[in-house]
Structure 1
């Protein structure tokens, strides 16, 4: 296991360099004047443009720019915005809010999605199975912003059960509805994947043997069936954390959450390329580490998998 972990960590290095370079090159290749609107309605002075161009190495090729950026990044310096604000401060302020929202969404996915998948996988073609299939198809078909606006209007405005927007304290009770909105499509996918996996393994020889030995159905499902059916679900959940954090722009906008989604949107509108790159680099690290964690969980769930 130790050699496998070391090998996987070494494999992350070229992947990280390749993905961050691609992101850096694509973001800075976006056409347009990066200094447009930075000095109000008037054009920025030539001295200011020359100073900022030299500071951000915009007069050099993309390879030199990326090398300088990575050198500073390895020292913990994410750079500054054109307004001289530290990008690391923006990330430290907004990242915990998005992470908290994504973890709530991930928990809702695991509880509702996995629970619905197990129940329908054990009792296929019944009323509950058809209800879950129709409900998940409905969630997949609806865009996230539609689900968000409907729940915000219905629960927050009409019925007054929740606050229409999330406060700055980001209490857990306030994040349940936004978390469900953010993870609504993933709940549907996890329920369907879990249902298929449970139904397939339900007919396996080891399950029939466990039942024939007289083991309680709860033990058969919890120890034998569920454990071997969790691998595709864990894969979805593990890779979904980064996707939830990167795709929270709409949900954060609807519920007024100051997260990295809103920061990325603002940075794109104002052409703050350094901010976009800095936030996306953090998301790349989340993706890579979650993929590594998922691979390690495979061996814990299935004893047949061994990393030698």
Structure 2
């Protein structure tokens, strides 16, 4: 296992450099004047442009810029915006909120999606199966922002009055449950369908029939044999979905006025703050790489047939 972990960590190194370089090039190589609008209605003075050009190494070619950026990143310096604000401080303020929101969304989609998928996969055709299929199809067809707005109107002050229309500056878990449902609604539908298909396929497998023939209790057959093997594709989806939800929370955070990474990256794109955009996306790349490693290691825990030598 130790050798496998080391090998996987080494494999992540070229992936990290490749993805971050591509992101850096796409962000900083965007055509246009990077200083447009930075000085109000008037054009920026030459002295300011010269200072910013030197500060962000814009006179160097893109490869040299990237190497210098990595050098600063590895020392803990995430860069600065054009107005001198530390990108690291901006991320440190926004990251915990988005992480809580994404974890809540993953937990909701895992619990509800897995439960619905397992029940329908075990029972087969029937009312519950049709209900889950119709419900998941409905959720898949709805954009996330529509689900978020509907939940806000139905549960907010204009509806049942259970939640506030906007969350606080530092929201707790309770305030993020409804936004988490909205954010994870689409993935929850996919988890339910994926679990349903996997359970229905594996319940006809030889090892399940053997366990039943040996007289093992139904609960043990389902939990120990059937569910452990069927949950692997679902686990893969959930593991990679954490990074996707953190990066895709822009709309949900906007609807509920959440000061997270989504709003930070949106403002960075809108104001052409390239350092902010690159910093946030690099962080999301690290989350993706870490979660992919964790998922690979969990495979051996869930499926005894998988061994890492």
TM-score (norm 2): 0.98
Kindly indicate whether residue 300 of structure 2 is the aligned counterpart of residue 299 of structure 1: yes
Per-residue CA shift, 1:167-216, capped at 9, x if unaligned? 12312111111001101110000000000000111011111111122211
- Name the structure 1 match of 2:87: 87
Give runs of ≥4 in structure 1 deviating > 6 Å.
none
Q: 32-41 or 279-288, which moves further after superposition?
A: 32-41
Per-residue CA shift, 1:131-178, capped at 9, x if unaligned? 000000100000001101111011102111111111123121111110
The CA distance in 1 between the partners of 2:303 and 2:56, in whole Å, is 50
Kindly indicate whether residue 162 of structure 2 is the aligned counterpart of residue 161 of structure 1: yes
Kindly indicate whether residue 66 of structure 2 is the aligned counterpart of residue 66 of structure 1: yes
The CA distance in 2 between the partners of 1:158 and 1:193, in whole Å, is 33
User: Mapping of 1:36-185 within 5 angstroms?
Assistant: 36-156=36-156, 157-185=158-186
The CA distance in 2 between the partners of 1:51 and 1:165, in whole Å, is 40
Per-residue CA shift, 1:21-52, capped at 9, x if unaligned? 00000001112211111111111110000110
The CA distance in 2 between the partners of 1:169 and 1:90, in whole Å, is 14
- Name the structure 1 match of 2:240: 239
The CA distance in 1 between the partners of 2:2 and 2:177, in whole Å, is 38
The CA distance in 2 between the partners of 1:279 and 1:171, in whole Å, is 22
Q: 16-25 or 151-160, which moves further after superposition?
A: 151-160
Per-residue CA shift, 1:2-33, capped at 9, x if unaligned? 11100100111111000000000000111221
TM-score (norm 1): 0.99
Q: 282-291 or 206-215, which moves further after superposition?
A: 206-215
RMSD: 0.7
The CA distance in 1 between the partners of 2:51 and 2:62, in whole Å, is 18
- Name the structure 2 match of 1:277: 278
Deviation, structure 1 residue 287: 0.2
Kindly indicate whether residue 203 of structure 2 is the aligned counterpart of residue 202 of structure 1: yes
The CA distance in 2 between the partners of 1:298 and 1:241, in whole Å, is 17
Structure 1: gaps spanning 5 or more residues: none
